[in-house]
Structure 1
């Protein structure tokens, strides 16, 4: 044709011949991909045909013009999101793309030879197709990774929303069963709510990952997330924290529909454990009545006034009385053990205990005195009136 560059007519014939075989080559490629790459069996045929057409037409443009598009001109974000959502790994996606470009390149070389295309032009366009594969692979990798990040963030938000509703009791029965199915919880089994906070500079995110790792290693069902600076969720069995520097409260076992009650209890357990500067996972069986010492500061103040304030007027001797009373209760009311450990005579301990009864107007043989005094001593151990319920975690 007049006015066309040398090699243009044969090149267009090559392109026309390639176009005529697009469907046939695409069919073989589809069979090849689904046979060799298992993850691609989840991708619908129409989706693969669509992206194959896009790659083929882009390659024909490169063959015709001899230039490769800039990376930003590759609109692969939608495809990458689709592949990531279907569980296709990045390596599989890149492998599939390179097999597609290899098929196009082989077709070009075959048709170029068949139509007698200038060897120099064949080499040039083949090099362009190689460059196309490199540039597109980098772009596909970038958008695929971003799609994976976006998908992970979306899943994390959805999981957090489900757990927030579950733990605060705002989900319907249908929402609970649906979420349980999605996140691998057995709605027929009891679960325990947990609230955990890291210590010594450990971040909540790293604590969540550690607890998840421990849980997977034991094959136990659980669902955790980070909410408001704490790791919260539901577990089938108490997690093993190992060397983790963590303080956690564990609620009682209950079904998922009422696990919000267990979550409130877990908050009280965490609050008490932190008040006593404890480490590890604690439930009501560990903390017992000490939970109430933290949760009821008014009662603690009343008992401190009744049993320990009267000793302050005795000065240093009052402190010795308090210490003897504390050890007396701690050692099961065995006076001789208290005396031995304090390196004093038994009668000295007896005198201190009798003086306590005189100052407080109580009897250490009375069950109420033992309970209330233990409460007052535990409150004294805390040092300051503890915060009210709900302060440790929202």
Structure 2
């Protein structure tokens, strides 16, 4: 940028008055108090967002702007971000006063406009060449651009920090909401803060984060489809959620297991989370990839918590099949079809599909190898257990 202090030479020898630009700047410094009074009155009357800002605070920022203008004009160089520490100071001050960024930028422009207008009015008195005044005007709008950039960065950094802090507070509250023994005062504080009903039924949610980098996003997508709102907190190995509203469980899930607890009020939400955690572990162990409630699994919940029972049943019903080699898989397939079709042999055979006699032969072979009878209720229960336990790997 051209040195704003330089002008086309003009002196008294050719009949032109000599510029007294340094005197004008001194006069500007002397008049800064009056300028700040006018700026404060105008700014507070016309720019929204300054409701919590006192007039004295605006006056002080206007005085700083006058000093900034004089300093940079005398420096005579293109302003750089490092030349405007005032931008950081003002932005931080206005953030504490809850003034929006747009209002801050408008306020700064108003202040600069008042300073520039005062300089223009003084120009003839001090014989300022119009070209010099034009350069000063250009510099002041360059100051505005640099100020706007720096103030915007301060606001952005503040918003990021605020968002992180809010996320941490919300995550901590969700953790307390699903934990037994949380003080009711803290629960009610969070309920008011995050628009969570304290007396209406809520559901806790649990989902594994392993192998699901976008799990939280997919949960929110499912929530929108299911017609509910979900507050989530990502923990090292699990996503904890609070479901607000009654979800439509007929919509497709996010293609990974989600445990959903029973409906409870906020003060009893820890019971819902206990259910959700149990359901998640069971659903994951069974290889399910959907939103699952305890009612969906019933007795299958016990498979995860009773691995020793699975070992005993596998020894009883699966080990004897090993001598059949690959035919063992055909037997297991037929058993599963038989159970899935309510012991209806024609329907089971059609579902695989195989001939009815083939299915009967496989079931009979199973009975021979295990010395059991598939018509026995106890056998059916135990076979159903062990087949569910191995289904994930089957």
TM-score of the pair, normalised by structure 1: 0.79
Instruction: Give 1:31 deviation, angstroms.
Output: 0.8
Which of 232, 235, 239 is the aligned partner of 1:231?
239
RMSD: 3.4
Deviations 1:269-320 (A, max 9, x none): 2223333333232222333322322232111111212233233344455554
**1:378 matched residue in structure 2:** 388
On the 8 A contact 1:71/1:135 being kept in 2, the answer is yes
**2:7 matched residue in structure 1:** none
Which of 165, 183, 192 is the aligned partner of 1:181?
192
Query: What is the count of residue pairs matched by the alignment?
Result: 372
- Counting only pairs closer than 5 Å after superposition, residues 151-170 of structure 1 correspond to structure 2 as 151-169=162-180
Deviations 1:222-279 (A, max 9, x none): 3113222543220123378758444322111212223223223222222233333332
**What runs of 5+ residues in structure 1 fail to find an aligned partner?**
385-394
Quick check: 85-94 or 229-238, which moved more?
85-94
Cα gap change, 1:120 to 1:289, in 2 (>3 Å): same
Q: Partner of 2:123: helix, strand, or coil? A: helix
Instruction: Give 1:146 deviation, angstroms.
Output: 1.4
Instruction: Give 1:53 deviation, angstroms.
Output: 4.0
Quick check: 366-375 or 233-242, which moved more?
233-242
Which of 93, 117, 121 is the aligned partner of 1:110?
121
Cα gap change, 1:374 to 1:167, in 2 (>3 Å): same
Q: Partner of 2:47: helix, strand, or coil? A: helix
Deviations 1:61-106 (A, max 9, x none): 4456656764134144454356557765544432332233223222
Runs of 4+ aligned residues of structure 1 deviating over 6 Å after TM superposition are 216-219
On the 8 A contact 1:239/1:281 being kept in 2, the answer is no
On the 8 A contact 1:192/1:254 being kept in 2, the answer is yes
Alignment partners' CA distance in 2, 1:148 and 1:315? 65
**1:312 matched residue in structure 2:** 322
Cα gap change, 1:368 to 1:243, in 2 (>3 Å): closer
**2:64 matched residue in structure 1:** 54
Which of 134, 146, 150 is the aligned partner of 1:135?
146
Deviations 1:132-190 (A, max 9, x none): 21221121122221111111111112222222222333631111111111111111122
On the 8 A contact 1:252/1:262 being kept in 2, the answer is yes
Alignment partners' CA distance in 2, 1:244 and 1:53? 58
Q: Partner of 1:21: helix, strand, or coil? A: helix
On the 8 A contact 2:223/2:229 being kept in 1, the answer is yes
Instruction: Give 1:327 deviation, angstroms.
Output: 2.2
On the 8 A contact 2:35/2:115 being kept in 1, the answer is no
